[in-house]
């Protein structure tokens, strides 16, 4: 859809696609800011024109990265609240919906953090993969409770989001040991817990998260190290209730190998999936703002919060 959207919608979409804005919760937050800018600046003359503009903006934002369900969930939240008989009423309800979504996101993360922190004892060591604001909320809450926490941080190739996690942990005065991804098995012996985030949680309790999560979960199960997923309910994918599957984003091969290196090797295939799926049997708990759940029971929470989803609100 090449028609005009507000510049901040185009810019946000670009930043999400390029991963300047990344992580499921942060993407959702940014998407609602962009919809809000679109609504505030709209010059639509009729309610129909306004609605068609805002749906177009939503589709542009959706057409960036396919895996994190927090993105469609955030757009659905705002679009379902955009109602009224006049352009002004539509505008105000869209802006209010976007602001309300972000308030919910913030308070959910704080509530989730307090619950996740209860799993941690003073002196525990946690192993981290990628960078998750939901996970960091748990560690921040544990630190605020005065618990001392140790950290082993996986680098997380190819984009090295582990560096972001390491920095954020240092800001919380947590001592950090950074390791390459392949060293996780060895260092699991020193870890009391594995904490990871989620991009999507499916109806059967599978967790879609950064590539490498599944391998880590299987190894953690072999050592009986608890595998904890910190995921606020905006990560629950309601379309999986009706049998839809989550699309795993495939990213550019140049994140994995430089052009010159590749040419030196000769003709090979390079694949770069950004996410993988960890089945519920390898997960001990999904920590949400509504409490912690065994993964197999998450479907009941999903039904309660989302019900059955019909037509998507951004469709024309
Ligand atoms: C980020 C990632 C994070 C989840 C959860 O992948 O897999 O674990 O998005 O993050 P990418 P949060 O860097 O490719 O976006 O808890 O902040 O929502």
The pLDDT of residue 6 is 96
pLDDT of 270-280, one tens digit each? 999 999 999 99
Helices 24-41/7-17 angle, 10° precision: 170
Domains and CATH numbers, the chain: 7-110 (1.20.120.420), 121-306 (3.40.50.10470)
pLDDT of 59-100, one tens digit each? 999 999 999 999 999 999 999 999 999 999 999 999 999 999
pLDDT of 17-33, one tens digit each? 999 999 999 999 999 99
| Alpha helix positions (H), the chain | 7-17, 24-41, 47-62, 70-81, 87-118, 133-144, 162-171, 184-187, 213-223, 259-265, 298-306
The alpha carbon torsion through 116, 206, 301, 99 (nearest 10 deg) reads 70
Closest residue CA from atom 7 of ligand 1: 210
The pLDDT of residue 1 is 55
The pLDDT of residue 160 is 98
Q: Does residue 130 carry a catalytic annotation?
A: yes
pLDDT (average), residues 255-263: 96
- Beta carbons of 28 and 39 less than 8 angstroms apart: no
Cβ < 6 A, ligand 1 pocket = 22-26, 68, 130, 132-134, 161, 197-199, 209-210, 274
CA 199 / ligand 1 centre spacing (Å) = 6
Closest residue CA from atom 1 of ligand 1: 23
pLDDT of 139-160, one tens digit each? 999 999 999 999 999 999 999 9
Helices 24-41/47-62 angle, 10° precision: 150
Q: Indicate the pLDDT class of residue 315, thresholds 50, 70 and 90.
A: confident
Closest residue CA from atom 10 of ligand 1: 132
Q: Indicate the pLDDT class of residue 307, thresholds 50, 70 and 90.
A: confident
The token pair at 265 is 């090797």
ipTM: 0.99
């Amino acid at each position: 859809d090449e028609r005009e959207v507000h510049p901040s919608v185009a810019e946000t979409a670009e930043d999400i696609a390029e991963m300047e804005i990344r992580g499921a919760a942060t993407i959702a937050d940014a998407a609602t800011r962009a919809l809000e800018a679109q609504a505030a600046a709209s010059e639509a003359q009729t309610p129909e024109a306004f609605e068609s503009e805002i749906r177009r903006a939503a589709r542009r934002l959706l057409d960036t990265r396919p895996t994190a369900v927090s993105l469609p969930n955030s757009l659905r939240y705002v679009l379902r609240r955009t109602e009224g008989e006049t352009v002004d009423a539509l505008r105000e309800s869209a802006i209010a919906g976007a602001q309300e979504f972000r308030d919910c996101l913030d308070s959910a993360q704080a509530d989730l953090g307090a619950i996740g922190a209860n799993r941690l004892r003073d002196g525990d060591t946690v192993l981290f993969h990628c960078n998750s604001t939901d996970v960091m909320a748990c560690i921040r809450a544990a630190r605020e409770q005065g618990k001392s926490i140790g950290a082993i941080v996986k680098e997380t190739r190819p984009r090295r989001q582990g560096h972001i996690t390491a920095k954020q942990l240092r800001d919380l005065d947590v001592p950090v040991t950074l390791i390459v991804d392949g060293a996780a098995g060895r260092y699991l012996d020193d870890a009391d817990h594995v904490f990871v985030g989620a991009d999507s949680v499916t109806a059967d309790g599978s967790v879609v998260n950064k590539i490498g999560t599944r391998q880590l979960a299987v190894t953690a199960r072999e050592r009986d190290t608890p595998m904890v997923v910190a995921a606020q309910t905006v990560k629950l994918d309601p379309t999986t209730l009706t049998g839809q599957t989550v699309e795993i984003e495939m990213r550019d091969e140049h994140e994995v190998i430089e052009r010159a290196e590749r040419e030196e090797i000769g003709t090979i295939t390079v694949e770069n999936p950004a996410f993988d799926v960890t089945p519920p049997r390898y997960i001990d708990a999904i920590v949400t703002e509504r409490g912690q759940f065994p993964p197999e029971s998450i479907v009941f929470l999903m039904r309660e919060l989302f019900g059955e989803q019909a037509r998507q609100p951004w469709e024309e």
